[in-house]
Amino acid sequence: MSGPAVATGVHERLDRLASGARAHDVDVLLVTGPVNVRYVTGFSGTTGLALIAADGADPRSASPHTALGRQRFITDFRYETQAREQVPDAFEREVVLDDLLEGVVGALGGGGGRLGFLEKSLTVADHARLRELLAEAWQLVPSGAIVAQLRAVKDDGEIARIRAATELADEALRAVLEGGLAGRTEREVALELELQMRRRGADGPSFPPIVAAGAHAALPHAQPRDREIPPDVLVTIDWGALHEGYCSDCTRSYATGEGIGARAREIYELVRSAQQRAVGAVRAGASGRELDAIARTQIEQAGHGEHFGHGLGHGVGLEVHEGPRLSRTAPDKPLAASNVVTVEPGVYIPGELGVRIEDLLVVREGGHEVLTSLPRDLTVVS
Ligand code: ZN
Ligand code: ZN
């Protein structure tokens, strides 16, 4: 859990959130969803929410529109002790019996203003109930971007955790590969990978590992089967570790013998080359669309455009998929230094094979740092 390190970042995040809320013309921001609440308050339980007043660095200078004395954290009685341990004193901690939303209404009082909410984590039912309970002078304003933009730019402590998760996941895979791939089932390999990550200190996998051999790898999100991996095929493994709340994400495709055939080698080389070219262009200021186009153009020119049906990559942090997106449809916005993103082109030929190569990178001014340590050249693991 490591509350203290998370809490260190909390004060700075509070300041940035409060000014972000002001910039978006929001008086109070309602933070919901366990991951967002953990990010903002350090609280790692499942039931809690936070109210952030927009008025900048001094938590006591509440918005004139509200009765919110200082930043507020609301949970129920089951989490009283945990909240005291994890949520810093910058928050007034409130414990309600049952209904957190009643706590929100109580904290906001009868005033009014613009209440920002996170549209991806407040349910439609809770939104309706809030609307019903709140005084009419409160306007509900979708404000998910405020937290998402903040989460996308990692601080040093977050990058250290993602790096640790990546190292642990890389080591776990190396250990699994020592036992070979051919002759084991996809499910056995996936299970051992999870076990090896946990042995090395992971809280668990950051998502259920994908292990897919031969034609099965043509499904980008294939589920491991109880079927033996044959010799002389390509096997795609996509996995990540969850460590101190933070995720890693990586994919490699391996050959289970020298006899995979010329076409498989050619497609592997195409994906490797497109991936390397896109990775080479990652830096602060490049846009997710631009980077996607670098890999996609090369794959299209090789005649496989229709076989690369997903985006180039995504942000990784407390969640394995978060902002920013690197894709054709991503907002045409430049990446920022300290974004952490994947670069993962793939080619999937139905009924035949699939190849994906995915690395995790920290975006820097003028360049990037690759966190993944595994080689990208075609490797035979029999
Ligand atoms: Zn992945
Ligand atoms: Zn990914």
Separation of 251 CA from ligand 2 center, angstroms? 8
Burial 50-65 (b: 16+ CB within 10 A, else e): bbbbbbeeebeebbeb
Separation of 299 CA from ligand 2 center, angstroms? 18
Count CA atoms closer than 13 A to 64's CA, side-chain side: 0
29, 21 in Cβ contact below 8 A? yes
Separation of 139 CA from ligand 2 center, angstroms? 37
Q: What is the pLDDT of residues 141-190, one digit of tens each?
A: 999 999 999 999 999 999 999 999 999 999 999 999 999 999 999 999 99
More reliable by pLDDT, 57 or 42: 42
Q: What is the pLDDT of residue 68?
A: 63
Contacts of 55 (CB under 8 A, 6+ apart): 18, 22, 61, 62, 63
Q: What is the pLDDT of residue 8?
A: 59
The residues pairing with 113 across neighbouring beta strands, listed in sequence order, are: 138
Separation of 220 CA from ligand 1 center, angstroms? 10
Q: Which ligand is nearest to the CA of 356?
A: 1
Separation of 358 CA from ligand 1 center, angstroms? 6
Q: Which ligand is nearest to the CA of 206?
A: 1
Separation of 289 CA from ligand 1 center, angstroms? 19
Q: Which ligand is nearest to the CA of 322?
A: 2
What's the chain's Rg over C-alpha atoms?
A: 23
Is pLDDT above 70 for 7? Answer: no
Separation of 108 CA from ligand 1 center, angstroms? 42
Q: What domains can be seen in the chain, in order of their start residue?
A: 3-151 (3.40.350.10), 156-370 (3.90.230.10)
Q: Which ligand is nearest to the CA of 310?
A: 2
Q: Which ligand is nearest to the CA of 341?
A: 2
Q: What is the pLDDT of residue 4?
A: 42
Separation of 131 CA from ligand 2 center, angstroms? 37
Is pLDDT above 70 for 24? Answer: yes
Q: Which ligand is nearest to the CA of 251?
A: 1
Burial 1-13 (b: 16+ CB within 10 A, else e): eebeebbebbeeb
Mean pLDDT over the full length of the chain = 92
Is pLDDT above 50 for 11? Answer: yes
Q: Which ligand is nearest to the CA of 319?
A: 2
